[in-house]
Amino acid sequence: MNQSVTIALDAMGGDHGTSIIVPAALEILGRHQDVSLILVGDQTELETRCGDSTTRFGERLRIHHATQQVGMDESPAAALRGKKDSSMRVAIDLVKNGEADACVSAGNTGALMATARFVLKTLPGIDRPAIISAMPSIRGHTHVLDLGANIDLDSGQLFQLAVMGATLVRAIDNIDRPRVGLLNVGAEEIKGNDGVKQAHALLTASSLNYIGFVEGDDVSTGDVDVIVCDGFVGNVALKTSEGLASMISHFMREAFSRNLLTRLAGLVAMPVLRNFKRRIDPRRYNGASLIGLQGIVIKSHGGADTFAFVNAIEIARIEVAKAVPQTIGEEIGHLLEATGTT
């Protein structure tokens, strides 16, 4: 990664806005000399937050004023129509006009997807963009898509997800032939709905490294690199996992804070527990990619803290270096041609 990379940040997005996004930006600028950032949002607020950092990082840290903000509960249509100078919209516009190589937002997912799709457009051959993210597995992580951008996908659209997912994973994880699985309710071919069954046939006939049907527990086994599913199913799997993980943390804290004795035990076990918690820390997986677009857009969790938001910017940086949208565009052309599903 020698060429310089410019990333636009929707600095007003998410639950904590500039209070976590500015510190995350400064962390990234300190870490990578080849990265420039454009903070998009309220100029006065951003100047105050940045303090003398604007002088310190010079041209690598710019502020781009935007007068509006997209609410976390605002409808995608309302945001698209009425918020043409929102920090989110302007960050995406900067990608469109080439001033930025990618953008990152912790804002409203629906509005982000709708705006990105409207401004950047989908890649030729892609019906619908999708949301993909890594989830932790025993041997590292598994990428899952779609996580909620699209529901009721047909078999051809599920096939496109597989191509996009495999291409992204090959690029960013350096896996030559990522193992692709199709999420189903059972490993036998008789199960599943028609869309899933037909997608299975398309994938079996394709040149992808398709390993067949997988089930929900395969997200964490590490036996598959990319799991393809409808956005409804993927979103429920993601949210259920997040809920379960936070419940487990809650129970663990409770168990160790019961009385003096358990507190002492907790003190002794602290370094081990910290190590353990680090492995499943959801902040390490923060940063979902909106793929299938003619540009790089990364969605951070709305409640992300600085550590988590830094991770989301790192993902943007890697996708720029690996030219993910261009690679997906080429790949989808080849594969759809080969399987006759154009």
Of residues 36, 28, 94, the one with CA closest to residue 60? 36
Q: Report the nearest approach of a copy of itself to the CB of residue 321 (Å).
A: 30
Q: Report the nearest approach of a copy of itself to the CB of residue 265 (Å).
A: 5
Q: Residue 117 in contact with residue 297, Cβ under 8 Å?
A: no
The answer to whether 246 contacts a copy of itself (rule: CB under 8 A) is yes
Quote the DSSP letter at residue 174.
-
The answer to whether 78 contacts a copy of itself (rule: CB under 8 A) is no
Considering only residues 165-194, where is the footprint of a copy of itself by CB under 8 A? 183, 185-186, 188, 190-193
The answer to whether 220 contacts a copy of itself (rule: CB under 8 A) is yes
Cα three-residue angle 232-237-15, rounded to 5 degrees: 85
Instruction: Reduce the DSSP state of residue 334 to 3 states and report it.
Output: helix
Considering only residues 149-168, where is the footprint of a copy of itself by CB under 8 A? 151-152
The answer to whether 281 contacts a copy of itself (rule: CB under 8 A) is no
- Omega within 30 of 0 (cis) for the link into 223: no
* Segment contacting a copy of itself by CB under 8 A, of 26-34, 120-128, 254-262, 323-331: 254-262
What does the alpha-carbon distance between residue 297 and residue 278 come to, in Å, rounded to a whole number?
Answer: 26
Q: Residue 131 in contact with residue 109, Cβ under 8 Å?
A: yes
Quote the DSSP letter at residue 124.
T
Judged by beta carbon, residue 124 or residue 243, the one nearer a copy of itself is 243
The answer to whether 81 contacts a copy of itself (rule: CB under 8 A) is no
What does the alpha-carbon distance between residue 27 and residue 99 come to, in Å, rounded to a whole number?
Answer: 22
Interaction site with a copy of itself (CB under 8 A):
73, 75, 110, 136-138, 148, 151-152, 183, 185-186, 188, 190-193, 215-221, 229, 231-233, 235-248, 250-252, 254-256, 258, 262, 264-266, 268-269, 271-273, 275-276, 279-280
